[in-house]
Amino acid sequence: MEHPRRLFALIGPPSVYLTLFFLLPLGIMAVFSFRAGTIGEARNVFTLEHYRQFIANAAYHRLLWRSSLMAFGIASISTLLAYPLAYFLTFQAGERKLTLMTLIIIPTWTSYLLRVFAWKLILGTNGLLNTLLLSLGIIDQASPILLYSRTAVMVTLVYVWVPFVALPIFAALERIDRSLLEAAADLGCKPWEAFLRVTLPLSAPGVIAGFFFCLIPTLGEYVTPLLVGGGQGAMYGNLIQDQFVRALNWSMGSVMSLAMLLAVIVLLVIFSRMGSFSKLLEL
Amino acid sequence: MSEPAVELRDVTKVFTSTRGDLAEEVYAVQEMNLEIAQGEFFTLLGPSGCGKTTTLRLIAGFERPTKGEIFIHGQPMSKVPPNLRPVNTVFQNYALFPHLNVARNVGFGLEVRRVSRPERERRIHEALDMVQLAEMSNRRPSQLSGGQQQRIALARALVNQPAVLLLDEPLGALDLKLRKAMQIELKQLQAQVGITFIYVTHDQEEALTMSNRIAVMNKGRVLQVGDPVTLYEKPASHFVADFIGESNFFRGVVEAVSGQLVEVQVSGTRVRATAGALPPSSGQEALFAVRPEKVRLIISEESIDGALRGVIQEVIYIGTDTRYIVNVEAQSPVAVRVQNGCGIAPQEYRRGDVVQLSWLPEDAHLLAD
Amino acid sequence: METRRIPSFGLLYYWLIVIVLFLPIFLLILFSFNDSTRLVFPLRGFTLQWYGQLSKNPELIRAVRTSILLALGSSFIATVLGTMGALVVVRYEFPGRNVFVAVAALPLVIPYIILGVSLLIMLHSLGVRLSAWTAGLAHVVISLPYAMLVVIARLVGFPQNLEEAAMDLGATYWGALWRVTLPIIFPALTAAFLICFTISFDEFAIASFLVGTQPTLPVYLYSQLRFPTRLPLVVSMAAILMSASMAIVLFSEWLRRVGQTPQPKKK
């Protein structure tokens, strides 16, 4: 270290802040998970009861499993939809590339809550989709099932995530040296072979990053299910929220949050093992 | 003479680079000792990675020596940060502040040191006059040509009247013609302001053109310090003889020594050389160098006393001179330069001619390997 | 050779995605002018009454003000801390650097609900009263990595010897940062600030746990979504907000681009 004092002066404030308001709360939550109750005397009683309940309750596991599958599905579909988008922007959009990219990003900076809410206007019984299908004669009665379902949650979240997933894929594709593709063609690859043998493997870090960056936060999603999911589309995040807002069983909620945190860490470890994290930071 | 402007005493700089779990120690500068006199134009010359820029950064204070001490005007510098050292630097890519105009770039050091406004403006004006760019004072650096940026960087440093000016390959980014012109200009400027210049370059011709003295560096060590003539005429080592100018190297066995004069057996012939700083003894292996322009060519099938026999392999006409490449048995091909001056017809000798190569003993220097 | 190009599959796909991305936004704007309290098709007549009613809603105005103040404060802190972090990450090698980067970047992916409830538990244990400012504590945590990444991207192309030149000319390290580095990267700092601002301004998942009785705009809007008669009002608010945030994004994007040092062209 050349200048320890400068280093400490610079790294000190952000480190202290993150420790106090990010790491410490997680630690306190871990302590809280062993407490018998949220208020009164019960706060001082140590118990493993909540862990026992969490492990014993099959309904929790089902919801956790279902949420994981949904998150996995959402991340996969978003990635599949985002790849051609990023590919088009990189290789076919030409000089308008950045403008077209910005156009994709703009909606993501508008209110999340309201964009999700707007999907109610699309999927609702008297919404855009039903109206459209009715007027085209494809269906003869407005279908109420479009809204308040798992499908509605997935459609909405895919909508939310596609632009974010496209970003790292775009960045990875951008970094591919065009002469590699020319070399592949020169060596006899057909365009689709060059894609499979050169473009796709080289863009893999971006694809992996996009996938995980969608998958992990989606695991804990609770706002979108709240708005468009109804009882059917509830996810694990809603279970946690219930413990804090309705059941007021914070210790149980802590156990559930820790379980999710564990899942997040496992996913992050898998992700960093795939070697993408460091590459991503070089962006 | 008064105390040196800059003195380096046993200075060593070790960089530790950590790549993953591997910690690697790199000796950028090793046990370096130098004394640079006041008012001198001193050059650190060497190939890239030889430690010359690190030496400059050590003097500027951007790096701290691992061992040893640096004195500027007799004051030890180890506890003095760069902003308090009486030195200024002209950076390799000029490092002009892109957000400030030329006048504010030049006045930056004065502003930081709280020089009063009128005084500042006077000195900025003077400095810009000195580099003949007074009319550019409101431009942004990006609006200037490379040569102009270079002069602004120079003015920005000199305006502070440093005790020592450090220049890190300041002409490296300029094209050849401009570089040649700037070399002369810099040299004149230095004589005019009388400030000690420490100049870093990898270009030996540039170093010879400008410097009072040159330190040739390689692998973190100073190999030889001397004025241009000494370094060229009396290189002390293989590296110096090779790096500065062009040299023919001969290997042989010492046959006889008498004072400075040494007789060496080379490819079966006894030739003569000068011992220099290292008096050898008979029977010892020896290496010596002769400059191409110091070798004499004589067409003769018959051997001449003290001359090597060779065959011309290549004749290269380059205008002012003709270069000959001569094959000598058991030695590397020997380059010979013959000036196309009065009385010598170009291409006097032809390919395949058998020639005798000779030189004056004082033009052949025994070298440390 | 000039041939008229048929729109490629890629281009069609791109515009399809763009239409879908903007569809909800346009729907909201459309309904904000619809003369009906019900947000259903078919549309009724054109009206500006919902916009007129906005200004007569003190709760809404209070929520907007809370959100603006909260976003200003948290973005300022996040930008300052993020810039410090970025300087450290770009300029220093030290043991624990990777740990620092990992911890600072973690809020990018960690589900917000975890941040919200863990901070809720801590503040509750300490007996801190919840308010918009307690939500702000978390907003700094989530926007800090964005600020840091924006500044890192700027600093990577920043010639370090400009700082050295400033020190060489007599400035201290901090003076060099203040006089040289920060002015040069200022557009990036502004961009980082604006990004943090939009994040905080829009954030609901954490705020809903932490604001207590001082709703931010998203929390207020959410509370209104349950009352169908209030919806047109919310929607007109949404239309204004979305237009404003689009403007902010375009501006910060522009800043980010003008802020880059022009790179010398490679041969």
Q: Give residue B207's identity as a one-letter amino acid code.
A: A
Q: In Å, how far is C194's CA from the nearest CA of chain B?
A: 22
- % of chain B at pLDDT higher than 70: 95
The CATH number of residue A75's host domain is 1.10.3720.10
Residues in chain B with CB shorter than 8 Å from the CB of C165 are 89, 91, 95-97
| B302 vs B298: CA distance, rounded Å | 10
Q: In Å, how far is A186's CA from the nearest CA of chain C?
A: 23
| For testing contact with chain C, the best of A10, A96, A114 (most C CBs within 10 A) | A114
- Does B146 contact C at CB distance below 8 Å? no
Cα angle value C56/C58/C64 (rounded, 5°): 110
Q: Is A118 close to C114, i.e. CB distance below 8 A? A: no
Mean pLDDT check: name the lowest of A58-72, B176-190, C45-59, C142-156: C45-59
Res. B331: pLDDT tops 60: yes
- Does C99 contact A at CB distance below 8 Å? no
By C-alpha distance, which of B273, B287, B282 is closest to B360?
B273
- Domains of chain C: which residue ranges? 53-260
Listed in order, strand segments (DSSP E) in B20-55 are: 22-36, 41-45
Cα angle value A245/A249/A252 (rounded, 5°): 115
**Beta strand pairing call for B296-299 and B354-358:** antiparallel
The continuous run of DSSP H or E covering A103 comes out as helix A97-105
pLDDT confidence tier of residue B333, bands split at 50, 70 and 90? confident
Res. B214: pLDDT tops 90: yes
| For testing contact with chain B, the best of C162, C167, C169, C189 (most B CBs within 10 A) | C169
pLDDT at position A283 is 40
pLDDT at position A282 is 47
Structural domain boundaries, residue A76: 64-281
pLDDT at position B70 is 92
Residues in chain A with CB shorter than 8 Å from the CB of C64 are none
Instruction: Give the CATH H-level superfamily of domain C53-260.
Output: MetI-like (1.10.3720.10)
Domain count for chain A? 1
Distances, alpha carbon C210 to alpha carbons B128, C113, C119, C197, C206, in Å: 60, 11, 8, 18, 7
pLDDT at position B345 is 62
pLDDT at position B369 is 63
pTM for this prediction: 0.80
Res. B101: pLDDT tops 90: no
| B residues 1..20 contacting C (CB < 8 A) | 18
A221 near A71, Cβ under 8 Å?
yes
Long-range contacts of A273-280 (CB under 8 A, 24+ apart): A274/A208, A275/A205, A276/A205, A276/A208, A276/A209, A276/A212, A279/A205, A280/A168, A280/A205, A280/A209
pLDDT confidence tier of residue C265, bands split at 50, 70 and 90? very low
Beta-bridge partner residues of B179: none
Q: Is B95 close to C172, i.e. CB distance below 8 A? A: no
B67-90 mean pLDDT = 89
C210 near C120, Cβ under 8 Å?
yes
B125-151 mean pLDDT = 87
Residues in chain B with CB shorter than 8 Å from the CB of C159 are 93, 95
Compare C267 and A145 and report the one with higher pLDDT.
A145
| C59 vs C230: CA distance, rounded Å | 13
pLDDT at position C3 is 44
pLDDT at position C258 is 66
Give the residue numbers in C contacting B (CB under 8 Å), as ranges: 93, 159, 161-162, 164-173, 175, 179-180, 183-184, 261-262
| B63 vs C160: CA distance, rounded Å | 14
- Does C104 contact A at CB distance below 8 Å? yes
Structure tokens at B206: 């540039």
| A88 vs A199: CA distance, rounded Å | 13
| A1 vs A8: CA distance, rounded Å | 11
Structure tokens at C249: 């994004």
| B298 vs B307: CA distance, rounded Å | 9
Tens of pLDDT, residues C179-190 = 988 998 888 888
Residue A247 placed within a domain? yes
- Does B27 contact C at CB distance below 8 Å? no
| C residues 109..168 contacting A (CB < 8 A) | 109-115, 117-122, 124-125, 137-138, 140-141, 144, 149, 152-153
Give the chain B residue nearest C261 (alpha carbons). B98
pLDDT at position B118 is 92
Closest partner residue to C111 among A84, A237, A254, by Cβ? A237
- % of chain C at pLDDT higher than 70: 90
Residue A35 placed within a domain? no
Res. B222: pLDDT tops 50: yes
Residue A43 placed within a domain? no
Give the chain B residue nearest C178 (alpha carbons). B112
B196-209 mean pLDDT = 91
pLDDT at position C42 is 64
The rounded average pLDDT for each run of 10 residues, N- to C-terminus, in chain A (283 residues) is 78 92 90 75 72 82 87 93 89 78 80 83 76 76 73 89 90 81 73 77 85 88 84 83 81 87 86 64 46
pLDDT at position A80 is 93
pLDDT at position B289 is 87
pLDDT confidence tier of residue B228, bands split at 50, 70 and 90? very high
Res. C251: pLDDT tops 80: no
pLDDT at position B360 is 87
Compare B191 and B17 and report the one with higher pLDDT.
B191
By C-alpha distance, which of C255, C254, C140, C101 is closest to C189?
C255
Res. C96: pLDDT tops 90: no
Residue A172 placed within a domain? yes
pLDDT at position A99 is 78
Give the chain C residue nearest B142 (alpha carbons). C262
Residues in chain B with CB shorter than 8 Å from the CB of C164 are 60, 62, 82, 89, 91, 95
pLDDT at position B259 is 77
| For testing contact with chain C, the best of B24, B26, B59, B97 (most C CBs within 10 A) | B97
Closest partner residue to C161 among B91, B108, B156, by Cβ? B91
pLDDT at position A40 is 65
pLDDT at position B164 is 92
Res. C36: pLDDT tops 80: no
Tens of pLDDT, residues B142-168 = 888 888 898 899 899 988 889 899 999
Q: Give residue B276's identity as a one-letter amino acid code.
A: G
Cβ neighbourhood burial of A5 (10 Å; 0-12, 13-18, 19+): exposed
CB atoms within 10 A of CB A248: 13
B160 near B85, Cβ under 8 Å?
no
Residues in chain A with CB shorter than 8 Å from the CB of C40 are 124-127
- % of chain B at pLDDT higher than 90: 18
pLDDT at position C142 is 92
Residue A163 placed within a domain? yes
Residues in chain C with CB shorter than 8 Å from the CB of A104 are 17-18, 21
Residues in chain A with CB shorter than 8 Å from the CB of C14 are 85, 88-89, 93, 100
Residues in chain B with CB shorter than 8 Å from the CB of C169 are 83, 88, 108-109, 112, 156-157, 160
